[in-house]
Structure 1
Amino acid sequence: MPTRRDFLRLSALATAAGCTLGRTSFAFAAGAPFAYGVQLYMVRKQAPQDLAGILQSIQEIGYTQIELFPLVYTHPAPELRKIVADSGLGLVSAHFDYASVPTKIDYAHQLGLEYMVCPMIPKDQWNLEGFRKAAADFNTWGQSVHAAGMQFAFHNHCYEWAPQGLTTGFDELMKHTDPAYVKLELDMYWLAQAGQDPLTMLTRYANRVRLLHLKDRIANAPTGFIMGPEAKHITELGKGTLNWAAIFAQAHKQGIRYAYLDQDDTALPILESLKENFAYLQTIKA
C-alpha cells in the first residue's frame, strides 16, 4: 500500500512534469496532505554555484516542493522549469520583486506556476499612501495574473503591522484589495514577531490564505515592527514557541496544501538545518 510519503512524492513529480489535471480543485480539498517545500532564499548562497545540486539535496532530504526566488531568473523559463523538474521537486509558487510582477507574468506562466508571490513592498511605501498604492497595484496585477491562469499572493513580514494612526499597513491592504484576486502567503514567524497570533490570522483570512511559510521563534524574544538584525529570533521548527500542531491542524482544516520552510539564517550548516526541520515536520499529525 502506498505510504503518505509515496503519495507526496508522486504528487510532486506530477506537478514537476506539468500535469495539471484537477490540480486546482485538489490543492484546496479539505483533508489533502501537506506538500512541504523550501523557499530558495534559504539556500541563496548555494544556488548560484550549483542550482541543480542543491535542489537534488533538498529532494533527497524528503521535501517535495521548491518555491523560487528572483536570484535564479537569469535562466530562461523553460530551462529553469527543466532544472526543477529534473530534480524531482514540484514547482507551483515563486517570489517576484514588487516592481517586476507585471513584467514577469508571462515568465511565471512559462514556469507552470499556480502562484506569483510578492514578498515585500518597497520600504519607501511603508506609509498609508504607499500601502494604498500597493493595494491598487495588487488589484491590477492580481487580475492580470488570474487572466493568465494563476493566482497572485502577498507574503507578509512584520513591518505591515506598525501603527499608522488608527490603522496598520496590513489592515489597509486587506481593506483595499479584492479577495478574489489578492491571496496571502502567511509567514508564521513574521506574524508572531509583529505580535500577531498565527492561528487567529489563519482563521480570520481563511478566504485568502493559500500558502504558508515556516520558521520557529525562540522563547522570550521581543516583538516589533522593524526589519533588520533586531527582528531575527529564528530557529529550527520545534525549538521555538510557535504552536505548530495547532497551526497545521487549522491550515489542514482550511484546505491549505503548500507549506515552505523559509528559515532566513541558520546556526547549523544549511543541509543539517534542512534535515532537522524536515524530521520535525514528520512528527506533525494534522
Structure 2
Amino acid sequence: MFRFLIALAVIAACQNTATAQKGKPLYTFPFGVQAYTFRKSFPNGVAATLDTIKGMGITEIEGSGGNMPPAEFKKLCDERGISIPGTGTSYESLVKDPQAAADMAKALGSKYLMVAWIPHEKAKFNLDNAKKAVADFNAAGKVLKENGITFCYHVHGYEFQPYEKGTLLDYMIQQSNPEYVSFEMDVLWTHFGGGDPVALLKKYKDRWKLLHVKDLRKGTPKDLSGGTSQENDVALGTGEIDIPNIIREAKKIGIKHYFIEDESSRVIKQVPQSIAYLKSLKQ
C-alpha cells in the first residue's frame, strides 16, 4: 500500500507539471534528499525507507539511517544505487572529537560533513556565540580536511542578527578560514531569517558547497528564532521562495549537490511534487 501511494503521488506530480513550458531543463543534477525528511520512517525499517526513497527517483542522500552503523547504512544505499555525498553531526560531537566525525563521514563515503545548529541562549544568537563557533569550526575543519572531508556549516536563520554593516552570518563567513570552513545554504531558513538566498550566493560564491532545497508556506511570519512549524514546509514551487533563481545562481557558482528537505507530515505527497517541480524548471 505504501508503494502504491508513492506511485500515485508521482503520477499526480507529473500530471501537474505536464503543461510546463518547453526549453532546456534548468535543474540538471541528481535528485537528493536530507535523511531528516524520512525521520519517521527510518525507525520502522531502514531498508524499506531506502526502497521508498529509491522509488521516488532519488539517488543521493545527506545523512544516515539513525543508529545503524555507518558502513551498514552505506551498504544498503549502495545496493540501491544511492550515494551519500554528505552527512551531519552535532556541534557538540564535532568539537569533542572531530576525528570521530571524520571517521563516520568516511565510513559513509561522504565528502562533506555539516553541522546545522550552534548552541545558544533561546533569546538571541550573539557575537560571542559566533566567535566561539568560528574558532571551533576552524579547528575541527582542519582535522576534517586532513581526512579528505569538507566541513560545512548549515545556516539556520538566527545568524542574521545585525552586526556592524552586515549580520553575524557575514561575520562568520568572513572570519572563518575558507581552507577549513565552508557553508551549506538552507534556502528556507536563510529566507526565514531575512536573508536573500540569491544575493548571498552571489556575494560569497564558492564558500557555499551544498544546498537544502525547501519552500515556505506563503505568508508565514518570520523572525530570527531559527524555528517555525514543520507544517510550514510546502512542496517546491507552491510557497514564497524564489526557487528558480536560487537554482540558477547555485549552478553558476558550482554547487553540485541539492538535497530536498521536507519537515512536514506530508512527505509522501510533497517530495514527488518537489521533484516534478524541479524537472519542470527551464533555463
TM over 0.5: same fold?
yes
Helix, strand or coil for the counterpart of 1:260? strand
One-letter amino acid matched to 2:108: L
Asked if the contact 1:153–1:183 (Cα under 8 Å) also holds between the matched residues in 2, the reply is yes
Corresponding position of 1:179 = 178
Helix, strand or coil for the counterpart of 2:264? coil
Residue 268 (structure 2) pairs with residue 271 (structure 1): yes
TM-score computed with the length of structure 2 as normaliser: 0.83
Q: How far does residue 127 in structure 1 lie from its aligned partner after superposition?
A: 2.1
Corresponding position of 1:83 = 76
- What residue ranges of structure 2 are gaps of 5+ in the alignment? 1-25
Corresponding position of 1:256 = 255
Helix, strand or coil for the counterpart of 2:92? helix
Corresponding position of 1:243 = 242
Asked if the contact 2:141–2:180 (Cα under 8 Å) also holds between the matched residues in 1, the reply is yes
User: How big is each residue's C-alpha offset from its partner over 1:103-156, in whole Å with a ceiling of 9 and x where there is no partner?
Assistant: 321121122111011111112493211211110010111111111011000101
Structure 2 matches for 1:101-140, cutoff 5 A?
101=94, 102=98, 103-124=100-121, 126-140=125-139
For residues 81 and 260 of structure 1, the distance between their equivalents in structure 2, rounded to whole angstroms, comes to 17
For residues 214 and 38 of structure 1, the distance between their equivalents in structure 2, rounded to whole angstroms, comes to 9
Corresponding position of 1:188 = 187
Asked if the contact 2:216–2:234 (Cα under 8 Å) also holds between the matched residues in 1, the reply is yes
For residues 136 and 163 of structure 2, the distance between their equivalents in structure 1, rounded to whole angstroms, comes to 20
One-letter amino acid matched to 1:89: I
For residues 143 and 235 of structure 1, the distance between their equivalents in structure 2, rounded to whole angstroms, comes to 37
User: How big is each residue's C-alpha offset from its partner over 1:203-242, in whole Å with a ceiling of 9 and x where there is no partner?
Assistant: 1111211110011122233321013346963211010122
Asked if the contact 1:224–1:231 (Cα under 8 Å) also holds between the matched residues in 2, the reply is no
Q: How far does residue 164 in structure 1 lie from its aligned partner after superposition?
A: 5.2
One-letter amino acid matched to 1:274: V
For residues 229 and 69 of structure 2, the distance between their equivalents in structure 1, rounded to whole angstroms, comes to 37
For residues 32 and 145 of structure 1, the distance between their equivalents in structure 2, rounded to whole angstroms, comes to 30
Corresponding position of 2:145 = 146
Asked if the contact 2:155–2:185 (Cα under 8 Å) also holds between the matched residues in 1, the reply is yes
Corresponding position of 2:43 = 48
Corresponding position of 2:277 = 280
TM-score computed with the length of structure 1 as normaliser: 0.82
For residues 242 and 227 of structure 1, the distance between their equivalents in structure 2, rounded to whole angstroms, comes to 16
For residues 229 and 78 of structure 2, the distance between their equivalents in structure 1, rounded to whole angstroms, comes to 38
Helix, strand or coil for the counterpart of 2:31? strand
For residues 134 and 210 of structure 1, the distance between their equivalents in structure 2, rounded to whole angstroms, comes to 19
Instruction: Rate the CA distance shift 1:252–1:161 in 2: closer, same or farther, 3 A.
Output: same
One-letter amino acid matched to 2:55: E
Report the RMSD for the aligned CA atoms in angstroms.
Answer: 2.1
User: How big is each residue's C-alpha offset from its partner over 1:227-274, in whole Å with a ceiling of 9 and x where there is no partner?
Assistant: 3346963211010122222111111111211100112214x3x21121
Instruction: Rate the CA distance shift 1:272–1:232 in 2: closer, same or farther, 3 A.
Output: closer
In the alignment of these two chains, the number of paired residues is 252
Helix, strand or coil for the counterpart of 2:58? coil
Query: How much identity, in percent, do the aligned residues show?
Result: 31
For residues 65 and 231 of structure 1, the distance between their equivalents in structure 2, rounded to whole angstroms, comes to 23
Q: How far does residue 166 in structure 1 lie from its aligned partner after superposition?
A: 6.3
